[in-house]
Amino acid sequence: MAQPVEVLQGTLDLLVLKALVLGPLHGWGISKRMRSLSNDVFQVHQGSLYPALYRLEDKGWVDSEWGESPDGRKAKLYRLTPQGRKAFAAEKANWRTFAATVELVLAAD
Amino acid sequence: MSLRRRVVRRMRTLFAPRRVAREIEEEMALHLAMEAEDLVRQGLAPEEARRLARMTFGGVDRYTEEARDAWPLRALHRFLTDIRYAARSLRRAPSFTLAAVLAIAIGMGANATVFSAVDSIAIRPLAVRSPESLVAMYGTQGEASLLGFSYATYRDIQRNAEAFSGIVAFTEGPVNVTVSAAPVSVWAMHTSDNYFTELGVGSSLGRMYGPGDLSSPVVVLSYAFWTTALGSDPYVVGRIISVNGNPFTVVGVATPQFTGTRLFTYEPSLWIPVGMHVQTIPSSAGLLTRRDATRLLLIGRLHGGTTIAQARANLDAVAAQLAEAFPDQYRGLGISLLSNRTPINPWLAPPQRIAMIGRLLLLGALLVLLIACMNVSSLLLARMSVRRPEMAVRLALGASRRRVVQQLLTESLLLAVLGALVSIPVHVVVSQGMDVLVPHLEYRSGFRPSADARVLGYGIVLTVAASLLFGLGPALQASSRSVVSGLREFGGRGVRQWGTRFREALVVSQAVVSSFVLVAGGLFVRSLQHARSLDTGFAIDGAVAFTLQPGLSPEYDAARTVALYRVLDDALASLPGVESAARAAWLPLDSNGSGRRVFTDDGPAELAKVPVAEFNAVTPRYFATLGTPMVEGREFVTTDSATAVQGVVINQVLAQRLWPGTSAIGKRLRLESPTSPELEVIGVARPSFYRALGERPRPALWVNLDRNPRARVTMVVRSRGSELALLPAIRAAIRAIDPTLPVVGLGTLRQHVSVAYTSTESGAIGVLGFGILALLLAASGIYGITAYTVSQRRREVGIRLALGARHSSVLRLIAGRALGLTMIGAGVGAALAALVPMGLDSLLLGVSPRDPRALAMATIVFGFVAVTASLAAALRAVRLDAMRVLRLE
């Protein structure tokens, strides 16, 4: 297992969006998917997922609804709105530029 | 996610924070449980799994709080930021802000004022429990309708009408009340003892009388009477006041909201159990016992779930039972009912004409607001073209379109709120000025415009609606992506074209609406002109009228009443300036009246064909004093009091109907029944209007008041000089004769009949007022768009002028299009006003809703103002210094 890394401020939203791009999920499912997508590298309290979700919901990027979890329990399901999908694409591009620039800076000798 | 859902969500976090917190907790508990189960699946012991799940989750409380804070505070914060930003941006454009705020203030002020007035007479529901389940009942028999009931019949109906959970009865009229010093005349209701309990009316002091109080000498005061006549005496319960000379104990004061079961008539000052009627009004003894004393009006409350149709069937059955039990009196009886929502309901709803005028004025005010909104919209669009760079920068910096629109709408809301605030003092002043619309009445009416919570609520709804109405279009346009690309690609031309088209559409619609309102105003003015020019059949100016009710004072028996009139006649005759004086049961057009069937020996036998004539009882010199000429014969003289056969005066209409082709003088007739005493026609009077201005000539007759005395008489006094000078002299003269005799409604004859002119006058003043406001707003709109065109085409104008173009051609270029659009709009508006049936026919007097003069008048005025406004703006273009403009560009 790789060394755990702290999540950069503001990137949690991007990870959440990425998890939801693949389909609607309840909270724990998002958390689990994020962990499996990142090979458990990112170190983040699972609880911090919820403020992030609510923030995204307020932006109108994410929509939520009480429904049933796959095993029949009452759970709140989150899904990406079309607006959220667009935002994800934009954020992703931003991130790539940012990461590439940082990489460029660090690579310079 | 829909906007609605998001708003609901935010409201919930703001107003139901505990529920939201519970939801978050629930969500997190589920998360912990799922995580633990997952860990168990990976092989951990349940105990250990739960511990680890909690550890990796972090502080539940901390994240609950963070999650809850994630949106409402952000939203609030964002809103406050938007407000601050909007305020700054409005401060930077003071002339724009002033123009917009003024336009909104005009629209809002007009609406608040009209709403407060119309609400008090036509919209506000009765202050009773479930007013929608109340219905008024009245009797019909043959051609007669709107008949009252006797107390015994009321009890019969109450017993047998199962469709109703309760029925109340009342009769109303003036009484003299003595609180401390001299008696005053007030409007009173005598009601069944269940009146307050059935209607569900509470007291603000003491108690309302109830079942069991039918014949108790108790009285409930209206809140208004308690405050004005009793100085809000907190110890009033238990006080004895005298009603027509009888002692009554005050048991309670009604709530301020309850002003009776009628909205636009006299407002009762007190309520008395109907069992006491025999003492307060001895002249109508037998109200409780006699079946032919049919003075009671009934209001019933339908059982829940009962339809009007079921109630009608029920009442039909009750009427049939009554007709069988008392065939002499009730043959052919029908009991009809009117639901609370029926506009012509005579007991629960205001008179139809008043309600219609009210609705019309409300519509007018809304149209004025609409025009004002279009003005502001147009101003905003012009401003957006200036602010395009700002918008482009904000959008380019990554603000979402939603945020930009939100920001712009906040600005609109701020403008609307400012406008509404400015309109408040205007509303207060205008409301007070509206007293001129209230006719001179003998008793206090229910018309009381006030600035209360209902007006405030209406104002808030309108403010928000208006801000969306004028703000949304410009905001969407300004925030469209094409603004940004437009800037880059086309130098803004494409956008400008879109904005210009939108503004032109606004100008056209504004012209449509304002010329529509202006035409309506013109129609009402013509109608008022017509009403004022109508010959009423008597001389309205130069006379004074007032009402005396000696019958309400127990000390005035028949002999003393005769003596009173003799002394009064002498006193009036000795007043300088009095030409003549007379008494009558009532005067024409003063909203009182009554009809009588007229039987003649050779007349029709069938009841339905017997003519019904307007009835009045008058003294000698009545026609001379009023100024109605006799066509034939003479009016009453003092010696008529002693003739064997009573004389009667009839009008020409009745004379021609009864005895066509021959003289009516000396002919005989009987009133109400073929067996009543014969009356001999002594004179024929020229017809006048009796009930309403412009009515078709009706048959009428007059009996001798001296031989048919009445408890209430109205005096009319013709003056030689100014009638106004007579008013104080008459008051003093009566006080000298009997200081305890209330003089009711003393005023000029014109005031006395003003109620006949009210709907025409208030319609004319109101609708024309709105027409003028609409015109002003439209003019400023036209000025605005022309000025905008000037600013947009400055370079072009500069070049043209530099190349030697004539001023007139530049003017035509600039003003031509706006003016053309305006005139098209005005034509459409006028055509709409003429073609759309607005129900004006019944409100206009002697004027067709398609009156060509009103149409022409409105169009000419509108055209003149439109040309002036656009030329004023376009003249700025030709004054441009061509060279400077070109250098600037």
pLDDT in tens, B765-801: 888 888 888 998 888 888 888 888 777 777 788 888 8
Taking contacts as CB-CB distances below 8 angstroms, the residues of chain B near A80 are: none
Give Cβ neighbours of residue B796 (< 8 Å, ≥ 6 apart). none
Q: How far is CA B278 from the centre of its chain?
A: 36
Q: Determine whether the interchain pair A28/B34 forms a contact, defined as Cβ–Cβ distance below 8 Å.
A: yes
CB B30 within 8 A of CB A28: yes
Q: Which of A15, A30, A8 is nearest to A91 (CA)?
A: A15
Taking contacts as CB-CB distances below 8 angstroms, the residues of chain B near A63 are: 1
In this predicted structure, what is the pLDDT of residue B486?
46
Taking contacts as CB-CB distances below 8 angstroms, the residues of chain B near A73 are: 30
Cα–Cα distance, A28 to B26 (Å, whole number): 12
Q: How far apart are the first and last CA of chain B?
A: 47
pLDDT band at A36 (very low <50, low <70, confident <90, very high): confident
CB B269 within 8 A of CB B221: yes
Domain ranges for chain B: 3-70, 131-339, 352-533+758-888, 543-754
Q: List, for residues A41-61, the tens digit of each pLDDT value.
A: 777 788 888 888 888 887 888
Q: If you ran DSSP here, which 8-state letter would residue B742 be given?
A: -
Burial A59-69, CB ≥16 within 10 A → b, else e: bbbbbbeeeeb
Average pLDDT over residues B223-250: 93
Query: What tokens appear for A83 in the block?
Result: 């607006």
Give Cβ neighbours of residue A26 (< 8 Å, ≥ 6 apart). A69, A75, A76, A77, A78, B30
> Is the confidence at residue B845, as pLDDT, over 90?
no
Neighbours of B110 (CB within 10 A): 27
Helix, strand, coil share of chain B (percent; to 5): 55, 15, 30
Taking contacts as CB-CB distances below 8 angstroms, the residues of chain A near B29 are: none
> Is the confidence at residue B489, as pLDDT, over 50?
no
> Is the confidence at residue B666, as pLDDT, over 50?
yes
CB B786 within 8 A of CB B507: no
CB B598 within 8 A of CB B741: no
Lowest mean pLDDT among B339-348, B543-552, B767-776: B339-348
> Is the confidence at residue B490, as pLDDT, over 50?
no
Nearest Cβ partner of B31 from A28, A51, A54? A28
Q: At what angle do helices B60-69 and A49-59 cross, to 10 degrees?
A: 10
Chain A interface includes B23 (CB < 8 A): yes
Average pLDDT over residues A32-38: 85
> Is the confidence at residue B343, as pLDDT, over 70?
no
Which value, in Å, is the radius of gyration of the alpha carbons in chain B?
36
3-state secondary structure of B343: coil
Q: How far is CA A1 from the centre of its chain?
A: 21
Match 């412009």 to its residue by tokens.
Answer: B694
Taking contacts as CB-CB distances below 8 angstroms, the residues of chain A near B22 are: none
In this predicted structure, what is the pLDDT of residue A1?
42
Q: Compare B18 and B674 and report the one with higher pLDDT.
A: B674
In this predicted structure, what is the pLDDT of residue B586?
94
In this predicted structure, what is the pLDDT of residue B881?
61
In this predicted structure, what is the pLDDT of residue B491?
45
In terms of Cβ atoms closer than 10 Å to its own Cβ (0-12, 13-18, 19+), residue B769 is: buried
Which one of A100-104, B620-624, B750-754, B764-768 scores highest in mean pLDDT?
B620-624
A73 to chain B, minimum CA–CA distance in Å? 9
Q: List, for residues A89-98, the tens digit of each pLDDT value.
A: 988 888 888 8
Match 């694409």 to its residue by tokens.
Answer: A89
Most B CBs within 10 Å: which of A12, A13, A40, A50, as the mutation test of the B interface? A50
Query: What pairs with residue B616 in β-bridges?
Result: B702
Average pLDDT over residues B568-574: 93
In this predicted structure, what is the pLDDT of residue B263?
61
In this predicted structure, what is the pLDDT of residue B166?
93
In this predicted structure, what is the pLDDT of residue B11?
64
Q: Determine whether the interchain pair B27/A60 forms a contact, defined as Cβ–Cβ distance below 8 Å.
A: no
Query: What tokens appear for B679 in the block?
Result: 């009356």
Cα–Cα distance, A29 to B298 (Å, whole number): 70
Chain A interface includes B42 (CB < 8 A): no
Taking contacts as CB-CB distances below 8 angstroms, the residues of chain A near B35 are: 28, 31, 46
Interface of A with B (CB under 8 A): 26-28, 31-32, 45-48, 50-51, 53-55, 57-58, 60, 63, 69, 73-76, 81
Q: If you ran DSSP here, which 8-state letter would residue B645 be given?
A: S
B7, closest residue in chain A (CA to CA): A58
Tell me the average pLDDT of chain B: 85
In this predicted structure, what is the pLDDT of residue B346?
56
Q: How far is CA B688 from CA B254, B657, B658, B698, B768, in A?
A: 43, 16, 18, 8, 30
In this predicted structure, what is the pLDDT of residue B793?
78
Q: Which of B421, B526, B459, B441 is nearest to B771 (CA)?
A: B526
Chain A interface includes B24 (CB < 8 A): yes
Lowest mean pLDDT among B311-325, B440-454, B501-515, B741-755: B440-454
> Is the confidence at residue B840, as pLDDT, over 80?
no
Q: Compare B55 and B494 and report the one with higher pLDDT.
A: B55
- For A13, the domain range is 5-107
Chain A interface includes B63 (CB < 8 A): yes
Average pLDDT over residues B751-775: 85
> Is the confidence at residue B749, as pLDDT, over 50?
yes
Q: What is the ipTM of this complex?
A: 0.89
Q: How far is CA B11 from the centre of its chain?
A: 36
In terms of Cβ atoms closer than 10 Å to its own Cβ (0-12, 13-18, 19+), residue B446 is: middle
Query: What tokens appear for B533 in the block?
Result: 């020019």
Q: Determine whether the interchain pair B57/A75 forms a contact, defined as Cβ–Cβ distance below 8 Å.
A: no
Domains: count for chain A: 1
Average pLDDT over residues B15-28: 75
Q: Kindly report the CATH number assigned to the domain that includes residue A62.
A: 1.10.10.10
In this predicted structure, what is the pLDDT of residue A41?
76
Q: Compare B349 and B24 and report the one with higher pLDDT.
A: B24
CB-side neighbour CA atoms (13 Å) of B666: 2
Q: How far is CA B419 from the centre of its chain?
A: 24
In this predicted structure, what is the pLDDT of residue A9?
58
Q: List, for residues B144-162, the tens digit of each pLDDT value.
A: 677 889 999 999 999 999 9
Q: Give percent of chain B with pLDDT exceeding 70.
A: 89
Cα–Cα distance, B208 to B205 (Å, whole number): 9
Average pLDDT over residues B573-583: 94
pLDDT band at A7 (very low <50, low <70, confident <90, very high): low
Nearest Cβ partner of A50 from B24, B74, B402? B24
Taking contacts as CB-CB distances below 8 angstroms, the residues of chain A near B21 are: none
pTM of structure: 0.72
pLDDT band at B883 (very low <50, low <70, confident <90, very high): low
pLDDT band at B290 (very low <50, low <70, confident <90, very high): confident
